Chains A and B, each alone.
Chain A
Amino acid sequence: MEWYGYTGNILNVNLTKNHISVQEQNIKDLKRFIGGMGMNCKFAADLLKPKTDPISPKNIIIIGAGPLVGTITPGSSRTVGLSKFPASGAIANSCGSMSFGFHLKQAGFDQIILSGQADQPSYLQVWDDNVELCDASALWGQDIVETTDLFRGKYNACGVIAIGPAGENLVKSSLALIDKTATFGRGGLGAVMGSKNLKAIVAKGTKGIQIADPKQFNNLYNKLFKRIRTYPHRKDWHKLGMLRNMPIEAILGAKGEKTKAKQVTEKIYLRKLKKYRLACPSCPIGDKDMVEVIEGPFSGLINYTSSIINIFSLFLLLDLETYNEATKAFDVLQRLGLDSVTIPSFVDFCTGLYERGILTKEATGIEWKRDYQTLIRVAELIVERKGFGNILADGWQKLAETFDDIEKEMLIVKGLEQVFDPRIIRLGTMEFEQVVNPKGAHVASGGSPTYLAPGRPLDEFTPHFHRMGISESAFQRLYTPIQKEMGVNVGRLTRYAEDWYTVLTSLGLCARAQINRFWSLESATAFYNAVTGLDLYPADLRIAAERTWNLLKILNAREGFSRRDDRFPPSWFKSLHYGEIELKIQDFYGGITLTPDLANQLLDDYYVERGWDPETGLPSINKLEELGLEKYI
């Protein structure tokens, strides 16, 4: 069969047996589940046995790149990794960008399915048809940047997924990086790779991607490219990256922390840190960063990051002194393969316990402060699994088991700490998504017009609803909140945010707002058809996305997850003393302070909008039959 967009090849790698084989895609499956994320879920349902220990040879890793990846389609560089994640015990997809998916497709593969455990430290080389498990003993213990640079030296242009010492030592929150820049696998993919003795995967391809209808593709591309090229904010994004969207300075200023706010200004970024703009293959926005520290003790440090916000956000949690210190701290975490949200959150939380006498220096070996030295010390102890670090290496749940009565204070859902606190930016779909996402507190799959825009006028929502492919029959329900002042029903809208995210991610498109805004379900379908030669309607993609999300939910129902795990952190209902301001969890328009009862009503609405049973929070039999998923129950 001639394949377009898709390469048609799935790479199976049994690490235990060092056996590598290739199977052909099934076109029937591809019509029911789209590419990257969709097929990842399909393979997981077929291959991953329930209750598998995440840190065992029986766990699998599936890495997929959707049908548009490898082409010039704007923003089509997503790589999607599925596994059972050790931080939460959930089966989930995690996404990253940069060039791995691009090179994987160019090498002639849509997916890699990794199983088993190598008998020694290894890396997988995927260089066109030269697929080989290679010795990585000399790389074991090296940090991610060193590892990636070594591969870049050996293979020149290539895509690299690598882990650091945190993954090797099975730290449950460890992640991998793609091309030493993009985070991949928040929640412990690093540990899963480490448990398999898999230091890295390197892809390099020269085969090229054929598409079915070049003429139609050219028409679609030229129109979209022209729109992006002339978009008013594009030059600001090139100049400021993600700082254009996320005004950390304003957040700190509102908190009354003027000294900290001065460390994260546009001027500092442009004059003192920004070195080069980075873009993933095919991306016209390029909001990733290479930064360089140019003064002070860390002068000369160069860091690659998926967003300058990753660095500046450290000021929101900790009392760092300078932007240079923040850059260095971020670089240390990144090189080790530690999560730059998790570790600072540990330091913040444990310092709070220390101040109240619950943690002591004698018991932990640490004099807890929210400063640079403490952060680095804690990171080292976690990676080395020494002393108190060994507890933190096993995650929030282990910490909760160690000390009585502290779990209710943790800002976690299913073992993963929050990214956005709704008390600071109110409850939009991303904030709500942290509660219902099968993986735990995950925000990316909750994107909608509520993103970073509390109080946005309601009349601006409808064009986005159309763009996201939401059926008009749902509009009235979305504009029917549980209390009139709330304006929009965030619970119900989150269902469609997830489905839209699933469409983008399955195709291989970036879900960041900067690119997302240029796509609609109709245009995504048109590109998909032109690239693959399939003849699908937008509704087909919408249903495929819904089917994928439901299958993901079933996979986690089999693990024992249900409504009781979709739990608002109790602390969200307590006041947050933010400087001199007292913040409470409010609805998107700020007129209603949410109570646990109202939050539960939002959850009810989310489940009902999904066609799930509100009692269990799980897909109903009717819904599964409608989607043809009944065999997976």
Chain B
Amino acid sequence: MKNTPMEEINLIEKNAIDIVIHEENCSGCQICQLFCSFTFHKVFAPNRAYIQIDTHEIIPRISFLEGCTQCHQCVKHCLYGALELRENDE
């Protein structure tokens, strides 16, 4: 059975999974941002996403804002290998 988003979050906290960022792989497609704002606010608005992609630089800069629930949908929707889940050993 599939986990609910809240169960996913609990699971993540329990397993202490980190999001590892590989900015050099980011294409600037903003799919992660758009999916985030759509999931949480039902609108496609990059500025309302909890993940921010700054395409101003040659290599896009990726950051997470306060309020991010670690639902990891951004990771699941990244097709370019810029976001990766990795277990935190600590």
Instruction: With CB as the reference atom, state the residue of chain B lying closest to A153.
Output: B56
Q: Is the CB of A286 within 8 A of B27?
A: yes
CB of A106 within 8 Å of the partner chain: yes
Binds A, one of B1-9, B10-18, B36-44, B64-72: B36-44
Instruction: With CB as the reference atom, state the residue of chain A lying closest to B32.
Output: A72
Residues 135-168 of A, flagged 1 when their CB comes within 8 A of B and 0 if not, give 0000000000000000010001100000000000
Instruction: Select which of B29, B43, B58, B80 is within 8 A of A210 by beta carbon.
Output: B43
Collect the chain A residues with CB atoms within 8 Å of residue B87's CB. none
**Considering the chains assembled together, what is the distance between the CA atoms of A106 and B58 in angstroms?**
23
Q: How far is the CB of B24 from chain A (nearest CB, A)?
A: 7
**Considering the chains assembled together, what is the distance between the CA atoms of A72 and B55 in angstroms?**
17
CB of B63 within 8 Å of the partner chain: no
CB of A214 within 8 Å of the partner chain: yes
CB of A211 within 8 Å of the partner chain: yes
Q: Is the CB of B28 within 8 A of A208?
A: no
Binds B, one of A9-17, A254-262, A271-279, A503-511: A271-279
Instruction: Select which of B29, B31, B45, B54 is within 8 A of A157 by beta carbon.
Output: B54
Dominant SS among interface residues on chain A = loop
Residues 118-138 of A, flagged 1 when their CB comes within 8 A of B and 0 if not, give 000000000000000000000
Collect the chain A residues with CB atoms within 8 Å of residue B42's CB. 210, 214
Collect the chain B residues with CB atoms within 8 Å of residue A209's CB. 43-45
Q: How far is the CB of A477 from chain B (nearest CB, A)?
A: 40
**Considering the chains assembled together, what is the distance between the CA atoms of A214 and B41 in angstroms?**
11
Instruction: Select which of A70, A225, A234, A280 is within 8 A of B44 by beta carbon.
Output: A70
Instruction: Select which of B24, B29, B54 is within 8 A of A276 by beta carbon.
Output: B24
CB of A51 within 8 Å of the partner chain: no
Q: Is the CB of A72 within 8 A of B54?
A: no
Within A479-507, which residues are at the interface with B (CB < 8 Å)? none
Instruction: Select which of A207, A211, A234, A279 is within 8 A of B28 by beta carbon.
Output: A279
Collect the chain A residues with CB atoms within 8 Å of residue B59's CB. 276
Q: Is the CB of A72 within 8 A of B24?
A: no
Q: Is the CB of B34 within 8 A of A286?
A: no
CB of A282 within 8 Å of the partner chain: yes
Q: Is the CB of B58 within 8 A of A290?
A: yes
Q: Is the CB of A208 within 8 A of B37?
A: yes
Q: Is the CB of B56 within 8 A of A156?
A: yes
Instruction: With CB as the reference atom, state the residue of chain B lying closest to A206.
Output: B47
Collect the chain B residues with CB atoms within 8 Å of residue A208's CB. 37, 41, 43-45, 47-48
Q: How far is the CB of B83 from chain A (nearest CB, A)?
A: 14
**Considering the chains assembled together, what is the distance between the CA atoms of A281 and B48 in angstroms?**
16
CB of B79 within 8 Å of the partner chain: yes
CB of A398 within 8 Å of the partner chain: no
Q: Is the CB of B80 within 8 A of A238?
A: yes
Collect the chain A residues with CB atoms within 8 Å of residue B50's CB. none
What is the number of contacts between chain A and chain B, taking CB atoms within 8 Å? Answer: 76
Instruction: Select which of B34, B45, B47, B56 is within 8 A of A282 by beta carbon.
Output: B34
Collect the chain B residues with CB atoms within 8 Å of residue A290's CB. 58
**Considering the chains assembled together, what is the distance between the CA atoms of A343 and B80 in angstroms?**
35
Instruction: Select which of A152, A228, A278, A279 is within 8 A of B56 by beta carbon.
Output: A152
CB of A345 within 8 Å of the partner chain: no
**Considering the chains assembled together, what is the distance between the CA atoms of A210 and B43 in angstroms?**
5
Q: How far is the CB of A555 from chain B (nearest CB, A)?
A: 33
Collect the chain B residues with CB atoms within 8 Å of residue A207's CB. 45
Q: Is the CB of B27 within 8 A of A276?
A: yes
**Considering the chains assembled together, what is the distance between the CA atoms of A558 and B35 in angstroms?**
46
Q: Is the CB of A282 within 8 A of B27?
A: no
**Considering the chains assembled together, what is the distance between the CA atoms of A229 and B47 in angstroms?**
25
**Considering the chains assembled together, what is the distance between the CA atoms of A534 and B17 in angstroms?**
42
Collect the chain A residues with CB atoms within 8 Å of residue B55's CB. 99, 157
CB of A302 within 8 Å of the partner chain: yes
Q: How far is the CB of A292 from chain B (nearest CB, A)?
A: 10
CB of A327 within 8 Å of the partner chain: no
Within A87-112, which residues are at the interface with B (CB < 8 Å)? 99, 106
Q: Is the CB of A72 within 8 A of B44?
A: yes
Instruction: Select which of A72, A214, A283 is within 8 A of B35 by beta carbon.
Output: A72
Collect the chain B residues with CB atoms within 8 Å of residue A106's CB. 45-46
**Considering the chains assembled together, what is the distance between the CA atoms of A332 and B24 in angstroms?**
26
Instruction: Select which of B27, B38, B54 is within 8 A of A156 by beta carbon.
Output: B54
Collect the chain B residues with CB atoms within 8 Å of residue A448's CB. none
Q: Is the CB of A277 within 8 A of B44?
A: no
CB of A284 within 8 Å of the partner chain: yes
Instruction: With CB as the reference atom, state the residue of chain B lying closest to A70.
Output: B44
Instruction: Take A72-B34, A152-B56, A276-B27 as given contacts and tell me if A211 and B79 are in contact as well, using a CB distance cutoff of 8 Å.
Output: no
**Considering the chains assembled together, what is the distance between the CA atoms of A211 and B43 in angstroms?**
7
Q: Is the CB of B80 within 8 A of A286?
A: yes
Within A56-75, which residues are at the interface with B (CB < 8 Å)? 70-72
Instruction: Take A276-B24, A302-B58 as given contacts and tell me if A281 and B45 are in contact as well, using a CB distance cutoff of 8 Å.
Output: no
Instruction: Take A72-B38, A157-B55 as given contacts and tell me if A277 and B43 are in contact as well, using a CB distance cutoff of 8 Å.
Output: no
Q: Is the CB of B48 within 8 A of A157?
A: no
Collect the chain B residues with CB atoms within 8 Å of residue A228's CB. 79
Residues 286-325 of A, flagged 1 when their CB comes within 8 A of B and 0 if not, give 1000100000000000100000000000000000000000
Instruction: With CB as the reference atom, state the residue of chain B lying closest to A5.
Output: B44
Q: Is the CB of B79 within 8 A of A234?
A: yes
Q: Is the CB of B29 within 8 A of A283?
A: yes
Collect the chain A residues with CB atoms within 8 Å of residue B31's CB. 72, 282, 284
Q: Is the CB of A214 within 8 A of B27?
A: no
**Considering the chains assembled together, what is the distance between the CA atoms of A281 and B30 in angstroms?**
6
Which of B43, B55, B56, B79 counts the most A-chain CB atoms under 10 A from its CB?
Answer: B79
Collect the chain A residues with CB atoms within 8 Å of residue B25's CB. 277
Instruction: Select which of A152, A156, A218, A280 is within 8 A of B29 by beta carbon.
Output: A280
Q: Is the CB of B44 within 8 A of A71?
A: yes
Interface, chain B (partner A; CB < 8 A): 24-25, 27-31, 34-35, 37-38, 41-48, 54-56, 58-59, 77, 79-80
Additional A-B contact list (8), CB under 8 Å, known A218-B38, A238-B79: A70-B44, A152-B56, A156-B56, A206-B45, A277-B25, A279-B28, A279-B29, A286-B80
Pull 9 A–B residue pairs with CB atoms less than 8 Å apart, ordered by A: A71-B44, A99-B55, A209-B43, A277-B25, A277-B80, A281-B30, A284-B31, A284-B79, A286-B79
What 6 A-B pairs have minimum CB-CB distances, sorted nearest first? Answer: A208-B45, A279-B27, A279-B29, A72-B34, A208-B43, A286-B27
Interface, chain A (partner B; CB < 8 A): 70-72, 99, 106, 152, 156-157, 206-211, 214, 218, 225, 228-229, 234, 238, 276-284, 286, 290, 302
